Structure 1
Amino acid sequence: MTSVALRLAVAPPTESCDSGLAAPTWDFDALTTYGPGASVDDAVPAETTNATTRPGQLPQAYRDADEADLYRRIEVAKETLGDRVVVLGHYYQRDEIVAHADFVGDSFQLANAALTRPDAEAIVFCGVHFMAETADILAREDQQVILPNLAAGCSMADMADEDSVEEAWLDLAEAYGFDPEGSDDPADYPGGKLPVVPVTYMNSSAALKAFCGRHGGIVCTSSNARTVLEWAFERGERVLFFPDQHLGRNTAKAMGVPLEQMPMWNPRKPLGGNDEATLQAATVILWHGFCSVHRRFTTAQIDKARAEYPGVQVVVHPECPMPVVDAADAAGSTELIRQFVADAEPGSVIAIGTEVNMVNRLAAQHPDKTIFCLDPVICPCSTMYRIHPGYLAWVLEGLVAGETHNRIEVDDDVARHARTALERMLAAAPKPLTGSAQGAPAATAATGSAR
């Protein structure tokens, strides 16, 4: 399998999302955007919650090292550290990072996987900032969580900042006539239901997870979003869902919520761009946020795949726009997509709508099937892509030398409330959005077949 990094380096500009991604990671870490690639058009907020605008601090020696040298140094450092360290690799990481991961999975699977290594003094999370925060919230006090590159943020997570959500909550409290700092017990309200239940996607800052914990809300993942919404509707009249509008819309629509009862909340407009009547009729209020990678997928791409490959099966992530999810054969979390491919018959042709590193890896793992990305342009998650082997070697060799680089620490009070929302999520057993594939609860240990 040719790595995405190599394909970017040799691909003509017309076949690559942005030729700048072929440059060394540290060349664009300090840019005031999310960097070249899928998120290049996303405006970085003045006070990002995900450390995106912090430049990397990678020493020159690691920048100059070649791929083979970095691979060897990472493996030597891991062997030296032994059980004192666990390396977690998200599905969307480049292959050069996944090769060293002890566990591979989605963000919450990996946070849970870390708990299975009680002897680990350090958790090196090869993902993005909100994932490392979640790992720190769930880790023991004596464990340290490390993000190899502090510039690895998340544009979607930054689309719902704490101040904007707090302001929206005040507006909703006035519209629905409740105390914004009042009780989070449904029994204290008419009809035994909260006026609004806040639900945040895992792709959000620790501060917003804490916001949900304080106000009777919950966290969801793409695998258990339906179960979480069912929990929220049992407790509340309506839901405020952030930051990803598409996951919220696709999940609620599959549950039978009419589109006219799902208004968008734009934090830059009064009342989120709504009038009082619209808010009174709302069942799910969707935050104006999205994933830049999954927003790229279109129904035209699905039509093209079906025309070129009769009988092709199309599976997409629920962060994709609603028309794409509706046109697909199945939709679900990264783990559901992985299982969908694994369960398909030999000879199957499968078109996938999710991040290209994961798609390429699935194609390599299943040579008896034809697997390709719906989007023909090479376009990895540009912030995930910032975790380069040089950064991993730097933080691991630092641990060997008794030094900790890029530790992620969540404030105790924030962590306490965020943990409440995460524990509620843990109790919500996953259900697939559509399709027949079932998600698995545990992360995959990184073996030869997982690379």
Structure 2
Amino acid sequence: MALDTALLERTAPLYERVARVIPRVEWPTMAGDVDAILRLKRERNAIILAHNYQSPEIFHCVADVVGDSLALARRAMDVDADVIVLAGVHFMAETAKLLNPSKTVLIPDMGAGCSLADSITAADIRLLRQRYPGVPVITYVNTSADVKAESDICCTSGNARAVVESLGVPRVIMLPDEYLAQNIARETSVEIITWAGHCEVHEQFTPQDIAQLRESHPGIVVLAHPECPPEVVEAADFAGSTAMLSDYVEQRKPPRVVLLTECSMSDNVAVHHPEVDFIRPCNLCPHMKRITLANIRQALETGRHEVTVDPAVAERARLAVERMLAV
């Protein structure tokens, strides 16, 4: 059809961005939504924030701001738009709302949750404060606004150690990711009290996986996210946030690499590095994958689903996030 031909021609430059990771035969199923999203963004004065775990057609073709949790939190404060669409999970949309209370924040699917956020409640933190009076509570951004509101300061995987050491105390509570807290504890003299929360993607990786990768792909460089178990991080060549993993590939350009994190991360980094051979142990986040081009388009067309935070909770949660951003 002539319309389809015109659409494919109009979106061809966008496809070229992802041609290395999306087969050409699949692009016609995406082009219509991509084209509509770009139009709707202009009409609604909207901006799309996308996490590194989003699929390439979202990350490279419709997103305006991309990055890890810390980058999205920082950039959300400078957004010049009436509407923010968060292509990520619910706690990220809440954080964007906390930092932009006057803006409309939409999440395309309310079911896009997080195993870490689900692992702890505000009541849990109040009980921990009773058990450890006076010990400051550091909460990972992968938590609900209610949990952030009960915390002293937030952190991300990229700044966790800096946040821990910024408090100048010998002992902290760090929630809810047990593995992240254990990995940070190995890097600092501060005693860290942990909580038994885990990321359902990263907890699947094992040292045996790394051993098999090294046997099958001699010379491979293994990069791990710090939400992986400590024994996995110890067996890897480098560990860091998604931004740090991307920077490692950018700066060192290893001939062959594996990223022990969510599967789409490799696709998104590979787009910029045709010279690097990415081996992909594909662990998908079922929550991140609930965000699609189709429901991003629907969010912009209908204004659903708007994310709100109770003002009393938001004020306290915002303070914990702002303290983190000041470190």
Give TM-score, length-normalised by structure 2: 0.87
Matched length: 305
Q: Secondary structure at the match of 2:186?
A: helix
CA distance in 1, matches of 2:76, 2:153: 22
After TM superposition, the structure 1 = structure 2 runs for residues 261-410 of structure 1, keeping only pairs within 5 Å, are: 283-345=191-253, 348-373=255-280, 375=281, 378-398=282-302, 404-410=303-309
Q: Secondary structure at the match of 1:407?
A: coil
After TM superposition, the structure 1 = structure 2 runs for residues 123-162 of structure 1, keeping only pairs within 5 Å, are: 123-141=84-102, 143-162=103-122
> Quick check: 65-74 or 333-342, which moved more?
65-74
Q: Secondary structure at the match of 1:166?
A: helix
CA distance in 2, matches of 1:390, 1:363: 24
Displacement after TM superposition at 1:371 (Å): 1.6
Residue pair 2:89, 2:287 contacting (<8 A) in 1 also: yes
Look up the match of 2:180: 247
CA distance in 2, matches of 1:285, 1:354: 25
TM-superposition CA deviations, 1:251-292 (whole Å, max 9, x none):
1112246xxxxxxxxxxxxxxxxxxxxxxxxx3211000101
Q: Secondary structure at the match of 1:254?
A: coil
Look up the match of 1:75: 38
Structure 1 residue runs without a partner (length 5+): 8-64, 174-194, 258-282, 399-403, 429-451
Look up the match of 2:138: 199
CA distance in 1, matches of 2:189, 2:22: 41
Q: Is 1:94 aligned with 2:44? A: no
Displacement after TM superposition at 1:68 (Å): 3.3
Residue pair 2:171, 2:192 contacting (<8 A) in 1 also: yes
Q: Secondary structure at the match of 1:136?
A: helix
Counterpart of 2:314 (choices 409, 415, 424) is 415
Which amino acid in structure 2 is aligned with residue 247 of structure 1? L
Q: Is 1:107 aligned with 2:11? A: no
Counterparts in 2 of 1:310 and 1:239: CA distance versus 1, 3 Å: same
Residue pair 2:56, 2:267 contacting (<8 A) in 1 also: no
Give TM-score, length-normalised by structure 1: 0.64
Larger radius of gyration: 1
Structure 2 residue runs without a partner (length 5+): 1-19
Residue pair 1:314, 1:350 contacting (<8 A) in 2 also: yes
RMSD: 2.1
TM-superposition CA deviations, 1:307-335 (whole Å, max 9, x none):
23332221110000000111111111010
Which amino acid in structure 2 is aligned with residue 108 of structure 1? L
Which amino acid in structure 2 is aligned with residue 78 of structure 1? K
Which amino acid in structure 1 is aligned with residue 34 of structure 2? Y
CA distance in 2, matches of 1:164, 1:154: 17
Counterparts in 2 of 1:289 and 1:366: CA distance versus 1, 3 Å: same
Look up the match of 1:85: 46
Displacement after TM superposition at 1:2 (Å): 4.2
Percent of residue pairs identical: 38
TM-superposition CA deviations, 1:357-385 (whole Å, max 9, x none):
01122223211111223x3xx33110011
Look up the match of 1:165: 125
Greater helix share, structure number? 2
Which amino acid in structure 2 is aligned with residue 209 of structure 1? K
Counterpart of 1:210 (choices 149, 154, 157) is 149
